[in-house]
Amino acid sequence: MSIWRYADLLHKVPQEHRISLGEGDTPLIRSRRIGPAAGLRNLFFKLEGGNPAGSFKDRFACAAVSGMLADGKQRCIATSSGNTGAALAAYTAAAGIECHIAIVETAPLSKLKQMLVYGANIFRIKGFGLDPVVSEAAFGELQRMGSRDDSAVQISAYHFSPAGMTGVQTIAHELAEQAEAPVDHVFAPAGGGGLCVALARGFMQKADQGRLDNVPAVEIVQPEGNDTIASPLRRGDEGAQTVTATTKISGLQVPNVIDGHDAVQECRATGGSGHAVPDDLIWETQARLAREEGIFCEPAAATALAGALRAAEEDRIARDANIVCLVTGIGFKDEASIDRMLAGVECPMIDLDQLREIE
């Protein structure tokens, strides 16, 4: 199985050019402890860390790289804070396409290593992903690099790569099929906002086809230190805002609007709102997912649940609502966050006599 079972809903790619590494069909599981403790009787997790390169961005890379093959492109120009780059590096390797990736300044070393293992050419840009002026200029240079006839720019946003983003919409298609009862809210993390737009559009596609009676409210969650979309959506603003990113949550350091305006409008149309949460709550939630649910994820992937828990505390969601939180990437993506969780914890070396003394 792969996202190509939804080929009629994706960017059109002839079958002979479709690349797949087995992405999609990720599990939807019920919370056993965190939900009940918060009084949320129907809390579920969509585990995107099970994708081939470890995040939901594999869906984007699958559609984007397949489209490049169909168009005869042999050089991928990309930017990433980590997961997009890893996914594109994997899928371009499978397709035999050259891959060059501009990396944000704060990307975790583990993600850079993953890109390099796949054979991608990568380089960091000072200030990229933190300073909106530098970030905007970097996007412009990447578009210049991608203007060659044999090249294509692949950035996981509708503003840059709408064809690839149709692959991300398959998360909504799967949820519409997996959920035992209609989903009321889907909480998703946002950097540039593309994931949230993809969810809204995917659910609308299903509704337009008569395959979904109830369109879930798409709830946007961001770190307070990168609040480009969440607060504008919650306040009723018409669009997103540019900020200087101060959050330490890797993958969600996107100070520019990118898909933010569309995210505000389209998620509001589903009945969704915005939720800004502190980094400390995100790290705490990451640890809770591991220790209370057995779910090993990176900090960005815990952000949706942090927003849902905060919304429950503030009585912004009904306690009996059917709620899905997207867990967007596996924990191995961010080694620094693992070290933070394990501060003071050691694995001792013991001998057989000590082993025999253990009750």
**Residue 104 CB contacts under 8 Å (≥ 6 apart), including other chains:** 79, 80, 81, 124, 125, 128, 129, 130, 253
32-36, 62-66, 209-213: range with lowest mean pLDDT: 209-213
Q: Phi/psi at 282 (nearest 5 deg)?
A: -65, -45
How many CB atoms lie under 10 A from the CB of residue 230?
Answer: 28
Q: How confident is the model at residue 338 (pLDDT cuts 50, 70, 90)?
A: confident
Q: CATH 3.40.50.1100 spans which residues of the chain? A: 3-55+165-341, 57-160
Predicted confidence (pLDDT) per residue in 60-104, tens digit: 999 999 999 999 999 999 988 889 999 999 999 999 999 999 988
Inter-CA distances, 282 with 22, 73, 303, Å: 30, 39, 5
Average pLDDT over the chain reads 95
Predicted confidence (pLDDT) per residue in 251-290, tens digit: 898 888 999 999 999 999 999 999 999 999 999 999 999 9
CB 245 within 8 A of CB 129: yes
Predicted confidence (pLDDT) per residue in 127-141, tens digit: 988 888 888 898 888
Query: Domain 57-160, what fold?
Result: Rossmann fold (3.40.50)
pLDDT given at position 101 = 94
As a whole number of angstroms, the distance between CA 290 and CA 288 comes to 5
Mean pLDDT within 2-6:
96
297-301, 323-327, 334-338: range with lowest mean pLDDT: 334-338
pLDDT given at position 335 = 84
For residue 85 the two structure tokens come to 């780059």
As a whole number of angstroms, the distance between CA 208 and CA 266 comes to 15
59 class by beta-carbon count within 10 Å (0-12 exposed, 13-18 middle, 19+ buried): buried
The residue length of the chain stands at 359
Predicted confidence (pLDDT) per residue in 299-311, tens digit: 999 999 999 999 9
DSSP 124-180: E-TTTTT-HHHHHHHHHHHHHHTTSTTEEEE-SSTTT-HHHHHHHTHHHHHHHHH-S
What's the pTM value of the predicted model, to 2 decimals? Answer: 0.94
Mean pLDDT within 225-236:
97
Residue 46, strand partner residues = 28, 326
16-30, 82-96, 152-166, 330-344: range with lowest mean pLDDT: 330-344
Output the CA angle 295-286-191, nearest 5 degrees.
Answer: 110
Mean pLDDT within 231-252:
95
| CA proximity to 79, closest of 51, 93, 99 | 99
Sheet of 98-103: strand order equals 121-124, 98-103, 75-80, 151-154
Domain 3-55+165-341: CATH architecture, name and number where available:
3-Layer(aba) Sandwich (3.40)
